[in-house]
């Protein structure tokens, strides 16, 4: 009988402490989220790019963000900046740039980008 009472007391105290621990974590999370402001990183990157800083990684990040959020007009703008740098790019950027151009109605430009990709793949296959 004493063992059952002792077991019930321990079980009750464990449940009580576990419940309190969960509440305090939730309170901590709510307080931490109140302290930090939400920052739009892409807008910050755009301001950096518009001030004259040019980097392939910067343009890739901005373009990819807009592309993945289905804002194809802005994605095409930043992919255009990326392609204007004249660097060797992965095939996925050719596809994403051409799809962005297609979605905004610039079919001829999209076809030109795909032709560049085909030429690039032919050169790779010839090696």
**Could you tell me if 49 and 104 lie in one domain?**
yes
What pLDDT is recorded for position 127?
67
**Could you tell me if 47 and 89 lie in one domain?**
yes
Inter-axis angle of helices 56-68 and 41-50, nearest 10: 140
**Could you tell me if 16 and 31 lie in one domain?**
yes
**Could you tell me if 62 and 90 lie in one domain?**
yes
Number of domains in the chain: 2
pLDDT tens, position by position, 107-118: 999 999 999 999
pTM value surpassing 0.85: no
**Could you tell me if 104 and 72 lie in one domain?**
yes
**Could you tell me if 11 and 67 lie in one domain?**
no
What pLDDT is recorded for position 113?
92
**What is the radius of gyration, based on Cα positions, of the chain?**
27
Containing structural domain, residue 54: 41-126
pLDDT tens, position by position, 50-64: 999 999 999 999 999
């Amino acid at each position: 009988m004493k063992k059952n009472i002792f077991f019930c007391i321990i079980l009750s105290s464990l449940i009580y402490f576990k419940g309190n621990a969960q509440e305090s974590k939730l309170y901590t999370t709510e307080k931490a989220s109140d302290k930090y402001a939400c920052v739009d990183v892409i807008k910050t990157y755009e301001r950096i790019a518009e001030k004259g800083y040019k980097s392939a990684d910067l343009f890739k990040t901005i373009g990819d963000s807009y592309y993945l959020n289905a804002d194809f007009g802005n994605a095409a703008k930043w992919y255009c900046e990326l392609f204007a740098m004249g660097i060797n790019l992965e095939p996925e950027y050719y596809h994403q740039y051409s799809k962005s151009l297609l979605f905004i109605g610039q079919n001829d430009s999209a076809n030109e980008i795909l032709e560049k990709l085909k030429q690039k793949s032919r050169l790779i296959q010839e090696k």
